[in-house]
Amino acid sequence: MTPAEPAPAHTLVPDDDAVPDYVRELERVASYLPEDQRALLRRAWAVGAAAHAGQTRRSGEPYITHPVAAATVLAEQRVDVETLVAAILHDTIEDTPLTRESLAGEFGETVAELVEGVTKLDKLQFEDRQEAAAESFRKMLLAMARDLRVILIKLADRLHNMRTLGAQSTEARSRIARETLEIYAPIAQRLGMNLIKAELQDLGFRALHPWRHAVMEKRIRTQPLLRREALARIEAQLAQRLTKEGLQYRLVSRVKSPWSIYDKMRAEGKTFDQVMDVFGFRMVVTSVPACYHALGVVHSVFKPLDGRFRDFIAIPKANGYQSLHTVLFGPYGSPIEVQIRTEEMDLIAERGIAAHWTYKHGGTKPSSAQARAHSWIADLLESQRATGSSLEFLDNVKVDLFPDEVYLFTPKGAILALPRNSTALDFAYAVHTDVGNNAVAARVDKKLVPLRTKLASGQKVEIITAKSSLPKPQWLEFVVTGKARTAIRHQLKHLEHEDAVQLGHRMIDRALENLGTSLDRLPPKRLDAYLAEFRYPRLEALLADIALGNRMPAQVAQALARSGEATTPDLLDALRVPREGERILITGNERGVITFANCCMPIPGDEIMGYHTAGRGIVVHRMDCPNVAEYRKSPERWVAIGWDREVTGDFHVALRIEVDNSPGVLAQVAAAIAQAESNIDGVEYLERDNNVAVIRFSIEVSDRKHLAEVIRRTRRLGVVHGVQRV
């Protein structure tokens, strides 16, 4: 359908008598919109009702009642008409014959984009429900990047589903409630939408733990009279002093929800009475200076508790939330928690990105909450491009959804918010992926620290980089942000692939040389035919597979050079007894394709051989390893290797040291190893009697010369009877 064509009959605006009550309720809540826009809502309902005709919810109601209810939730947030129309029609593309084109023709391209963004991926085949949900979530976040209103519709959709969850089976209720608590409530919180977040959490808690919710709710309702009187007295004292100071204010006592109490009891190990033994107030004033004035007033009424003041006005939370938080020592021995904010801050705290909604193409500047939400989603987009699977992406997003932020300063004074327990390396990746990839150390408050150092709020962080620096697998053990984890994994995979391609190239070249040819001399058609037969998109993919042990270089060479002839005795001899100068030289830094056997722990300087293992690449053994005799039985997997001239890094080796069994001996041996500039990875007692102890030290050395120095220093000790390499 094109905009020029006449609208179909079902889009005519119905008479008032034909309009059901739930549509009238939507129009009443949306009374802030002009009359012509409210008429558009009725037209959207008519289209949606016709499209969903015959469809019902599990409760038996017409299906159209659900999208209209979701739109009503959004109208309470005072969003624009395009969002409300898209909410009414958000299930039409997925569940009805209505197409995206007809929606665009009827209501405009923006509405069609919003509806498409909310639509789940039901037409694709996934391995399981979990992967389908993760992929659907991934698509939703991509749509959010184009227009944040997509997530508003999705949250309203989820909220109404949670309100009507009773019609679902017990299993479905638990699954949907858990998903709500793990994903959608945290997203609402991350976007500053606290009203929706609080209701999602409470409904999720009720569905997941109905008995616990009922107990909590009853305890909250039946608060002791003494507590209610105390609350009223504190409120009166604060109000009296604020009025004397000439401040215009709105003072409300905060009531804790069953979920917030339960969550705090679980997280902090407190009893119900301990959690409830706190009085909470919110104070809304007219301006930012008035916030600080009010803070001085409440501190003069009740003494503040040391170290419990937080200024989220000067340094807002990542979701745009702003307030002053202070904790006072109350007259009844109970703490009093006070939040002080302006009306605008209160609106943003409750509605988040829905507050003061600005059109995407309008001239008005987006609110701080929207700007921060866009920034967060941009970071997610960057991370999802490098993520292997939807489930991995979802795990990374979950990390970012439970932040408990620390606030840090860049050298230029900009503020970055990171999750609690973030390290200097997380900070580096938050600045830029390239800064993280090339990071070597950090300066925290001008003091040099390692990248694994955990950061605290208020610190000034500067990252030191070097172009030669590359991510290490150990980094994954201490980073906490999804962005850092994704970037490190992506870079490691990239480096491993490069190393695998280079090694595979050398291996196939050696095998082809034994047959009197090389990759360069092969007819291109023959090479392309081989790649096509085994479904390799590029030569690099075949070379990487060879290095990883998934294809034997001799067999590939045979197929490429001799078109499928059997392996000749000459080639077997060449594989069995490698000729001098034909060895593949390694540096030890070939990531993901070279591993060193734990049975003999080879180090630079040792005579070595390689054994081609499927999926692991080349496993390196010493020539005098007892297992080598067994490996000689498979000559096609034997790889002739040696050490390159320049070998860098540390290699693991084990020493068996016999010593006096007396106090302080272990420390003397450890000191001697340290003086030889070797790290100790592990210590284990093998034998022990009254006089002698045998200890196994796992250490790191650079080569045989370094190992000899370690042995020489330990043998010098008077308490040492013998040192032997294991």
In a domain, 372, yes or no: no
Q: What's the pLDDT at 12?
A: 52
In a domain, 605, yes or no: no
Annotated catalytic sites, by residue? Answer: 94-95
**Matching residue, tokens 């070797």:** 678
Three-class SS string for 323-355? Answer: CEEEEEECCCCCEEEEEEEEHHHHHHHHHHHHC
Q: What's the pLDDT at 369?
A: 62
Residue from 150, 176, 152, 151 nearest 163 by CA: 176
Q: What's the pLDDT at 707?
A: 93
Which whole number is the average pLDDT over 354-364? 46
- 289 and 201, same structural domain? no
Confidence check: pLDDT of 291 > 80: yes
Confidence check: pLDDT of 592 > 70: no
DSSP states along 106-149: HH-HHHHHHHHHH----SS--SSHHHHHHHHHHHHHHHHHH-TH
Which whole number is the average pLDDT over 191-217? 88
CATH code of the domain in which 706 resides? 3.30.70.260
Tokens of 346: 């209160």
Domain tally for the chain?
5
- Percent pLDDT > 70 in the chain is 82
CB 627 within 8 A of CB 621: yes
- 474 and 453, same structural domain? yes
Residue 709: band (very low, low, confident or very high) from pLDDT cuts 50, 70, 90: very high
Mean pLDDT check: name the lowest of 154-158, 166-170, 626-630.
Answer: 166-170
Confidence check: pLDDT of 570 > 60: no
Q: What's the pLDDT at 533?
A: 81
pLDDT tens track for 492-531: 777 777 777 887 888 888 778 877 788 888 888 888 888 8
CB 70 within 8 A of CB 153: yes
- 334 and 255, same structural domain? yes
Enumerate long-range contacts of 632-638, CB under 8 Å, 24 or more apart: 632/576, 635/572, 635/575, 635/576, 636/552, 636/554, 636/555, 636/567, 636/572, 636/575, 637/552, 637/611, 637/612, 637/613, 638/575, 638/576, 638/578, 638/609, 638/610, 638/611, 638/612
Q: What's the pLDDT at 571?
A: 40
Which whole number is the average pLDDT over 475-501? 81
How many other C-beta atoms can be found within 10 angstroms of the C-beta atom of residue 86? 32
Distance CA 314, CA 324 (A): 9
Burial 632-643 (b: 16+ CB within 10 A, else e): eeebebbbbbbb
- 177 and 40, same structural domain? yes
Mark which of 182, 208, 234 sits at the end of a domain. 208
Q: What's the pLDDT at 17?
A: 59
CB 159 within 8 A of CB 199: yes
- 306 and 192, same structural domain? no
Residue 38: band (very low, low, confident or very high) from pLDDT cuts 50, 70, 90: confident
313: left (phi over 0), alpha (psi -120 to 50) or beta: alpha
- 170 and 124, same structural domain? yes
Q: What's the pLDDT at 723?
A: 92
Which segments within 186-254 are labelled E, that is strand? 249-253
Confidence check: pLDDT of 126 > 50: no
HSE of 571, CA atoms in CB hemisphere, 13 A: 22
Strands 641-643 and 584-586: parallel
Tokens of 14: 């119905």
Mark which of 354, 373, 398 sits at the end of a domain. 354
Tokens of 363: 């001239």
Residue from 417, 345, 420 nearest 376 by CA: 417
Q: What angle do CA 700, 704, 706 make, to 5 degrees?
A: 60
CB 315 within 8 A of CB 338: no
In a domain, 399, yes or no: no
Which whole number is the average pLDDT over 454-474? 84
CATH code of the domain in which 270 resides? 3.30.460.10
CATH code of the domain in which 469 resides? 3.10.20.30
CATH code of the domain in which 86 resides? 1.10.3210.10
**Matching residue, tokens 């390694």:** 586
Residue 267: give the domain boundaries.
219-354
Q: What angle do CA 606, 609, 615 make, to 5 degrees?
A: 125
- 451 and 577, same structural domain? no
Q: What's the pLDDT at 200?
A: 93
- 201 and 288, same structural domain? no
- 503 and 472, same structural domain? no
Helices and strands, counts by H and E, the chain: 30, 20
Q: Calculate the average pLDDT of the chain.
A: 79
In a domain, 403, yes or no: no
In a domain, 401, yes or no: no
Biggest alpha carbon distance in the chain?
104
- 248 and 318, same structural domain? yes
Which whole number is the average pLDDT over 226-239? 82
CB 379 within 8 A of CB 373: no
Which whole number is the average pLDDT over 41-62? 86
Tokens of 460: 């000034």
In a domain, 366, yes or no: no
- 99 and 238, same structural domain? no
Mark which of 354, 381, 397 sits at the end of a domain. 354
CB 402 within 8 A of CB 186: yes
Between residues 133 and 671, which one has the greater pLDDT?
A: 671
Mean pLDDT check: name the lowest of 119-123, 414-418, 425-429.
Answer: 119-123
Distance CA 418, CA 483 (A): 11
Tokens of 360: 């995407």
Distance CA 120, CA 136 (A): 5
Three-class SS string for 137-170? Answer: HHHHHHHHHHCCHHHHHHHHHHHHHHHCHHHCCH
In a domain, 36, yes or no: yes
In a domain, 397, yes or no: no
Residue 370: band (very low, low, confident or very high) from pLDDT cuts 50, 70, 90: low
- 237 and 197, same structural domain? no
Confidence check: pLDDT of 128 > 80: no
Three-class SS string for 389-412? Answer: CHHHHHHHHHHHHCCCCEEEECCC
HSE of 605, CA atoms in CB hemisphere, 13 A: 12
Q: What's the pLDDT at 125?
A: 44
Confidence check: pLDDT of 16 > 80: no
HSE of 578, CA atoms in CB hemisphere, 13 A: 20
pLDDT tens track for 380-393: 656 655 555 656 66
Q: What's the pLDDT at 307?
A: 78
Q: What's the pLDDT at 457?
A: 74
